[in-house]
Every structure is written in structure tokens, then in C-alpha cells.
Amino acid sequence: MPAVSKGDGMRGLAVFISDIRNCKSKEAEIKRINKELANIRSKFKGDKALDGYSKKKYVCKLLFIFLLGHDIDFGHMEAVNLLSSNKYTEKQIGYLFISVLVNSNSELIRLINNAIKNDLASRNPTFMCLALHCIANVGSREMGEAFAADIPRILVAGDSMDSVKQSAALCLLRLYKASPDLVPMGEWTARVVHLLNDQHMGVVTAAVSLITCLCKKNPDDFKTCISLAVSRLSRIVSSASTDLQDYTYYFVPAPWLSVKLLRLLQCYPPPEDAAVKGRLVESLETVLNKAQEPPKSKKVQHSNAKNAILFETISLIIHYDSEPNLLVRACNQLGQFLQHRETNLRYLALESMCTLASSEFSHEAVKTHIDTVINALKTERDVSVRQRAADLLYAMCDRSNAKQIVSEMLRYLETADYAIREEIVLKVAILAEKYAVDYSWYVDTILNLIRIAGDYVSEEVWYRVLQIVTNRDDVQGYAAKTVFEALQAPACHENMVKVGGYILGEFGNLIAGDPRSSPPVQFSLLHSKFHLCSVATRALLLSTYIKFINLFPETKATIQGVLRAGSQLRNADVELQQRAVEYLTLSSVASTDVLATVLEEMPPFPERESSILAKLKRKKGPGAASALDDGRRDASSSDINGAVEPTPSTVSTPSPSADLLGLRAAPPPAAAPAPASAGNLLVDVFSDGPAAQPSLGPTPEEAFLSELEPPAPESPMALLADPAPAADPGPEDIGPPVPEADELLNKFVCKNNGVLFENQLLQIGVKSEFRQNLGRMYLFYGNKTSVQFQNFLPTVVHPGDLQTQLAVQTKRVAAQVDGGAQVQQVLNIECLRDFLTPPLLSVRFRYGGAPQSLTLKLPVTINKFFQPTEMAAQDFFQRWKQLSLPLQEAQKIFKANHPMDAEVTKAKLLGFGSALLDNVDPNPENFVGAGIIQTKALQVGCLLRLEPNAQAQMYRLTLRTSKESVSRHLCELLAQQF
């Protein structure tokens, strides 16, 4: 930098600053500033031209006044004039003023751009650096458009000085972050990557920052940086502290550059080249080895620099998740920090070990530190460290240590900070459910949770225990006995009353044989809590009382007396009053048989993924709960939370009045958690065998007295979903469908469940059900890799006029999909008019830093809204003649593409949606069907006839509908199935 000449001291500025500091009051300061502003304004407007020094001095004063918090509305042109000066100090003050005060939309930008262009072309390194700094500081789009093409040229020019290259790289990074589309790398890519080999460490450091940002959008273009980054990292970590003297920080060679290189490598999967991978592993081992060496300095800066590189190295090892030896060594290294005297290091160690615990290679190594982590949970003074310790206990939990960890967390919960109690409750509930060796232990754990921290037990937790108790016959008696004993405590939390009311109302008869828990005793115990409860709990207890009348007729008179009491029949709350009146009338009017039918035991809940997971994910953030769905360690176990595909007996029967668009509270069933094998993520969910189908709503019997049944918790994705329809991108915003899209779509014309798409990264499965003009579809996205998907965004796109023909309401999914995990997306579909083209499903995400995208055709075709219609032969032929216009008939003769099997053909026609009519066609070999296409606008009647010719291996398909386009489209769809 040029030396400052003697006359650049700006004594007037120093005097002004001194006067401001000596002001005794705010008023005095404002008076002095206004006096100075008037003086500067008069100087700028005077006839006498100011020299460069005076301009610089006055502009500098204006800058100081602005930094004091006062508005400056003049002096900008004088600052621009300073840019044309050949003196460094004057040009520097001009650029400084512009960087701080000039708005990016200012009218002076063009003048400033001209001055910057002159400085960039001057080849004076000092002036070039000032200009580049100004571009980066202002960072406006107009400035980016003016210089985005010039800066890469300066960056890679052979005659550019190192300081200019550094400034150019950081300036380009700033412009790219502000306007990515303005930085066309293209021809410069290879030369920018080659800067990693530059001799000047400052240039390399700036280049790594730039490449790290650029490769996140275009990873393939910068893939060559991996080998160069590994080579540079290897040279740094193997060098002595004296080798890089200018870039050695407290005996640690180039710590900032090392950290940046390690972060750059985390944008890519492990190197494919064996030599590069070997060199990288060797470098990582060297870092781990150096961490074990005695410190070369006792200063905190030395340990900070070493630890920064170590933790970034461990992050890279975790990211790769492919080197068991390194993962175990990283775990052992972190274990040493768990008892370090520095609180920050203990925090970082616990946080990193949480991630290590989810790896199959290092999980066992993490478990060896369980005693230390439990001790940290008990003794740490910092609440954030205690919270990380609880997270680590949760992450390292499996069947071998579940009881120990749950008991320790329960013990800690009694004295835990209020800020983290709800999170601890959720984790205990999830672990107790996931690793329960017997259901009695699970019930005890949840009731203990309610007893210890009832205020923090959310609805999801006690809903879930009721769901599990209802579904498991072997635990119902124990649950009734346990909750009865818990209700006898003098102080009983309201959540305990809710659980007790529901369980005793359903299963109180299982303990009624004991005189100590006879029906009158049960009723008296529950009713003693009635006056202390909220309206919602009282409503549930009233439902329990009417259930008691069915279970225990001897309590009928007592309960009717309670219901008849004025406090109930004339209750100020409408809900309680209505229940009391209805239940009293029901118990008085209905016969015993009717009462038994109406008030029978609740049917089992459909098995679903625990909604407590969703609650925890919402508290922790989408990317912080990677272990929540990790089924890798207990793949063979049958978890309570529904890891096993439910049997048909546990699923409610759909009713014709089911609410397909989710207007009532009946939630969709969630997918089971991902099994162990990433390649077999969706096998159970999408089997076409007798597996349970989604329940679309309760039967009328189940819906009656639904207040007694706690709302079934939704799946995590449903709970996280935004009820409003997601905004779809236009067809022009997505790529074309994959080449096999039509073939994949044809597979689903006659079936609703199956795997829609699968490659080495992703598996997409579909489960759907349609009724009349409504449908609900569940899309299951399975991550088949061990690397987390980032920015995961599936969207449904309506090409052409489809938006007016088909309404698709989507629910959002989490933006991160952990390795080996699966997420579910719910689509609610309504057919408005007949349509010919299916909607498109666009899936975008980042894998290992690389953007991935694919477009599929969503398996929603017009025949999905087919309602089968039975009719006699006479009616069929009469209708067939009515649809005799040429445009109403579509016929196709085609060769069979599959073996001609009558049973298979029959199954396909039924799957297509039509009803098969027997004894209608004179030829028994032919197939005749009928149905109605249901849309919101109209109904389209449809008749079909399929004539197979086994000898010629040919088919003739004839369709007649009341609408020409529907006839042709259905004929094409069905013909492709044979």
C-alpha cells in the first residue's frame, strides 16, 4: 500500500472529531454537526474549485457524521470526483464513502461504474483492489451486470498480482451470492479450479471460498477440485509449523485454509480414485494423530486452531460414513473432550457424537461413553450442554441400554430446566415405545412421565399410549389396573385423568372383579376428579360414564343421577350440556342390545408411525432428528410404533361416506418407519398382497361417540404439512419426464399400489384409493443411500389446462431426507372434469452437494374415477344401443402383448374400475363391463366389451361412452394393458 504523505493527516478532521467528543450534551453535538454541515455545504457550492485534499477532508467529515447516525443528503458527487484522483488516499476516501453511503439504486451508479472500469483497466494493483472492494461492498445487480464478465478474467490472468487475485475471488463470491445468474463461469471453470495450486496461500484461501460456493450449484463442473483440494490439504497437514511461516498461526500451519478445504470436500461424496482417496484418508489420520500429540503452546489460540481443524475433519469423516476405522477413532477422540474443562469443547463433542451415533460403524463405540454422558446430564452447569447430552443419550439408545437411558432421563426430568422438559418428555416417550421389551414397561414409563411432568406431556404422547393399549389385548388389563392406582394419588395431573377416563371406560371391566376396584369404586374415583378438570376433560369423563352404563349396569342409576343434575343439564358450556342431555336420553330410551351395540369397545386403531416423532422434529428442526427414523440398528425387531406392516384385522373398514379430502379430523395412516435395508425401503408398504389398505374414514359406528376416542395422531409428515395447497411450478420450470415415464404410468392404470420409480438413489412408492370423484394418494420417498438428501422438494405440476380439470392438493414434506429413511407426502385429488393427460411429479433435491431432479407422470388417470355399475343384460343392450353414435364409440383391434389368461384379464378389467357383467354376452369368452366416470361437473356413462381371440392371439376392444374424448382415451389406456 502506498505510504501516506505528510500532508494527509487532515488536521481539520481531527479537530472536528475532538470537538464532537468534548460536547457535554446531545444538543451541543447536534449544534456542532449542523455548523460543520453548513460549512461543508458552502464550500461545495462556492465558486472556488476545491483541491483534492479539501474534497477528501470534507467527504471524510461527512462520512464520520453519517457514522454518528445523522442523515447525509449531499456530497455524493464530490466523492465520485475523488475516484478520478491519482492519489491513493483521495481515491480510498472516495471509494469508502461510496461503499458506505451510496445506495445500490442510486443515479450515480453509472458514473461510479465508469470510474471503477478505468481503475480495473489501469493495471495498478492498488487501484484495482480498491475498485474490486467497492464492487463487493455495493454488490448491486447493475454493478454485477457491468463487471461480472471482467472479474473472472482478472482472477485467472497470468499477470495479475496475488493481492488482486485475492480481491477478485472474494468480489466474485459476493456477486455470485447476490445474483448467481450473473456469474457465467463456463470457460473460466478449469482455470479457477487450478488456483488451488497457486503458490500464494492467500490466493488459495480466497479461491477455496469461491469454489465451495460455486460447486454447490454446479458440482459436476468443479469435480476436478477434489484431487487438487486433497493434494493441498495433504501438503498442509504433513508440513511442519516452520514450513509455512507466513501462514502459521500459533504453531498450526494454515488453519483457516485447512478448515475451508475440509468443508469443500464435504460438498462431494468420497473420491472414486483409489490414489486420491488413499491420500485423503492418510491426511485425515494425520490430523487425528496430531490431535493426540502434546500441545506446542499453552496459549488458547493454539488449541483453538488445532481443535477447529480436528472438528472439521471429524465432520468430513461423518459425512463420508464409509471408513469404519476413522469413524471409531473420531468417536474415541471426541470421547476425550467429554470431560474437558472447556465448556465449548464438551458441547461440540456431544453434538458431533450425536451424528456418529447414527452410523452403523461407530454406534457401538459411542455407546462405550454412556456413563460419561449420563454424568454430564446430571452435573453440567450449562443448560445447552445438558441438552446436547440428552440428545446423545437419545441417539445412542438401542434395545441393550433402553431401560437404563429411559430411567436416567426420567430421573433427570424431575430437576430438568423448564426450557427443555417438553423435549425430554418426547424423547422418553419415543424411546419407551420404540424399544419396549414388554408393554407393561411402556405403560409404566408413560404414566411416570405424566406424573413427573404432566404439564409438558403433549396430546400426541397420551394419544399414543391410548392407541397402543387399545390395539394390544395383552396389556389392557395391566393398563387399567395401573391407571386406577395412579388416579388414587391425592394430587393427580389432568392428563392422568384423561388417560384414566379413556382406559377405564374401555377396559374397566377387566379389573372390576377385584372389590378394591369394583365398578362403583371406579366411578367414584373418576367423578371425584370431575370438578377439578377443564371442559375438555369433563366432556371425556361424561363419555366414560355412558360407557360405564354399558359395562356395569349396576351403576346406571348413579350415573343417570349425575347426568340429570342441574349442573349438567343447565351447564353454561354448550358441549357439556349437549352431552349430558344426549347421554341421559340414550341411557333411558335405548334397549340393552342397542346400547351394547352403540357403546361397544372401540375397534383397534390403524397402525401408523408415531406422531411423537413429528412433534420432536418440529422442536428440533427438520435436519436435527436424523436418528428419529433410523431403523438400521434394530431391523429385525417388531417395534410398538408400527414398524411391522399391520394385519387387515387392525385396519378400519372404509365407509362410503369417508371424507377423502380431509375435511374431517380422520387422519391418513402414515408409512411404517424405514426397514434396515435401504434397497428394500418400501417392500412391505407396497406389496399387492393382503396388506392393509389406507383407512379413509370411520364407519358410522366408529364415528358415533367419537369424543370418547382420542383423535388418532397423524403421521409426522401430515402433522408438519401446511394445509394450504402448495404452489406448483409451471411446466416450463421443470425438465421433461424421464424416458420411461409412460411405461411407469401404464403399470398403474389397473392398480393403485406399487413402486412408481427406483434408481440407485431414490425409490418412490404409491398407495392410493379413489371414491367417486375424490381420491387420496400417498407418495413414499425412500432414500436408498447413506447420505442425507438436502433441499428435498417434490411438487405436482399441471400441464396445459389440467388445472381446470383436476385439483390436486399437496402437503409439504421435510426438506431433508436422512440416509436410509423414508418420508411420506399426502395428495388429495378431486376430478373436476374429464382429462386426458396426467399431472407431472417433479422431484428435486441435492445429494452430496449435487443437484438431482427427475420428472414423472403421476399415476392419476381418468379411469381412477370409474364407479362400477351392475346392470341386467336387457338394460345393458338398451344402453348400448343408445350410445350408437359414431363419435361415442371407440374400437381397437390389437395383438396380445402378454399371455392370454382369462383370470388375469378379469383382474385387469376389475382393476381398471368397471363392473364385470356375467351372462350378458352370448359368447362366454367375451368380457362385458359397465361403469360411470365421476367428475364434479358431470357423469360419463361407459360400457365396454373385450373380445379375445386365443387362436389369433388378438383382442378387439370396444368402448362406448357419452363423450367422444373419453371413449378414445379409455380405449387407448385399456388396450395397453393386454
pLDDT per position as a tens digit, 126-135: 999 999 999 8
485 or 680, higher pLDDT: 485
The 8-class DSSP code of residue 181 comes to G
Edge-to-edge strands of the sheet including 762-771?
754-758, 762-771, 774-783, 822-831, 806-810
Phi, psi of 868 (to 5 degrees): -60, 145
List, for residues 78-101, the tens digit of each pLDDT value.
888 888 888 998 899 999 998 888
Q: Which of 65-69, 223-227, 428-432, 672-676 has the lowest mean pLDDT?
A: 672-676
**b/e for 612-628, b at 16 or more Cβ within 10 A?**
bbbbbbeebeeebbbbb
- The C-alpha atoms of residue 652 and residue 605 are separated, in whole angstroms, by 7
| Amino acid letter, 944 | L
Q: Would you state the pLDDT for residue 659? A: 31
Average pLDDT over residues 889-917: 86
Cβ pair 793, 819 in contact under 8 A: no
Question: Mean pLDDT in the chain?
Answer: 81
Cβ pair 746, 838 in contact under 8 A: no
Phi, psi of 767 (to 5 degrees): -135, 125
DSSP string, 257-311: HHHHHHHHHTTSPSPSSHHHHHHHHHHHHHHHHHHHSPPS--SHHHHHHHHHHHH
Q: Would you state the pLDDT for residue 105? A: 65
Residue 300 burial (CB < 10 Å; 0-12/13-18/19+)? exposed
N residues, the chain: 978
Give residues with Cβ within 8 angstroms of 545, minimum separation 6. 523, 526, 527, 559, 562, 563, 583
User: Where would I find the H helices in 740-819?
Assistant: 741-746
Q: Would you state the pLDDT for residue 104? A: 64
Average pLDDT over residues 570-582: 88
163 or 104, higher pLDDT: 163
Instruction: Indicate if the pLDDT at residue 242 is higher than 90.
Output: no
Q: Would you state the pLDDT for residue 256? A: 92
Confidence label for 358 from pLDDT (cuts 50, 70 and 90): confident
List, for residues 289-314, the tens digit of each pLDDT value.
988 888 888 888 988 999 999 999 99
Q: Would you state the pLDDT for residue 850? A: 80
Cell numbers for 233: 490439504
Average pLDDT over residues 608-629: 55
Q: Pick from 496, 508, 566, 575: which is nearest to 532 by CA?
A: 496
885 or 115, higher pLDDT: 115
- The C-alpha atoms of residue 342 and residue 782 are separated, in whole angstroms, by 41
| Residues β-bridged to residue 840 | 797, 857
| Amino acid letter, 12 | G
- The C-alpha atoms of residue 268 and residue 593 are separated, in whole angstroms, by 68
Cβ pair 946, 891 in contact under 8 A: no
- The C-alpha atoms of residue 648 and residue 691 are separated, in whole angstroms, by 6
List, for residues 243-268, the tens digit of each pLDDT value.
677 788 888 888 999 999 999 999 98
Confidence label for 813 from pLDDT (cuts 50, 70 and 90): confident
Instruction: Indicate if the pLDDT at residue 426 is higher than 60.
Output: yes
Q: Pick from 465, 414, 416: which is nearest to 439 by CA?
A: 465
Q: Would you state the pLDDT for residue 695? A: 36
Cell numbers for 674: 424405514
- The C-alpha atoms of residue 126 and residue 91 are separated, in whole angstroms, by 10
* Helices and strands (H, E) in the chain, number of each type: 40, 16
List, for residues 664-706, the tens digit of each pLDDT value.
333 333 333 333 333 333 333 333 333 333 333 333 333 333 3
Q: Would you state the pLDDT for residue 246? A: 79
Percent of the chain with pLDDT over 70: 85
Q: Would you state the pLDDT for residue 717? A: 31
- The C-alpha atoms of residue 908 and residue 905 are separated, in whole angstroms, by 5
Q: Would you state the pLDDT for residue 607? A: 66
Cβ pair 780, 768 in contact under 8 A: no
Helix (H) / strand (E) element for 84: namely none
Confidence label for 350 from pLDDT (cuts 50, 70 and 90): very high
> Cα–chain-centroid distance for residue 679?
21
Cβ pair 394, 625 in contact under 8 A: no
User: Where would I find the H helices in 46-194?
Assistant: 52-67, 76-82, 88-101, 109-121, 125-138, 141-147, 150-156, 162-178, 189-193
Q: Which of 218-227, 531-540, 719-728 has the lowest mean pLDDT?
A: 719-728
| Residues β-bridged to residue 396 | none
- The conformational region for residue 139 under phi > 0 = left, psi -120 to 50 = alpha, else beta, is left
Average pLDDT over residues 900-908: 85
432 or 656, higher pLDDT: 432
Cβ pair 375, 381 in contact under 8 A: no
List, for residues 506-545, the tens digit of each pLDDT value.
999 899 888 898 999 999 999 998 888 899 999 999 999 9
Q: Pick from 964, 972, 918: which is nearest to 940 by CA?
A: 964
| Amino acid letter, 621 | G
Q: Would you state the pLDDT for residue 31? A: 93
Residue keyed to cell 459436476: 220
Q: Would you state the pLDDT for residue 724? A: 38
Rg over alpha carbons for the chain, rounded to the nearest Å, is 36
Phi, psi of 187 (to 5 degrees): -65, -20
User: Where would I find the H helices in 728-796?
Assistant: 741-746
CA distances from 728 to 560, 768, 779, 792, 840 (A): 56, 21, 17, 15, 10
Confidence label for 735 from pLDDT (cuts 50, 70 and 90): confident
Average pLDDT over residues 211-216: 89
CB atoms within 10 A of CB 696: 24
Q: Would you state the pLDDT for residue 614? A: 63
Give residues with Cβ within 8 angstroms of 397, minimum separation 6. 405, 406, 431, 435
Q: Would you state the pLDDT for residue 542? A: 92
Print the SS3 string covering 868-919.
ECCCCHHHHHHHHHHCCCHHHEEEEEEECCCCCCHHHHHHHHHHHCCEECCC
Annotated binding residues: 11-12, 43, 53, 57-61
Q: Is the pTM of this model over 0.85?
A: no
Print the SS3 string covering 487-537.
HCCCCCCHHHHHHHHHHHHHHHHHCCCCHHHCHHHHHHHHHHHHCCCCHHH
- The C-alpha atoms of residue 205 and residue 196 are separated, in whole angstroms, by 8
Q: Would you state the pLDDT for residue 400? A: 87
Q: Pick from 342, 203, 196: which is nearest to 264 by CA?
A: 196
Please measure the distance between the N-terminal and C-terminal CA atoms of the chain and give it in whole angstroms.
81
Average pLDDT over residues 495-502: 91
Q: Would you state the pLDDT for residue 373? A: 92
Q: Pick from 92, 63, 131, 82: which is nearest to 4 by CA?
A: 92
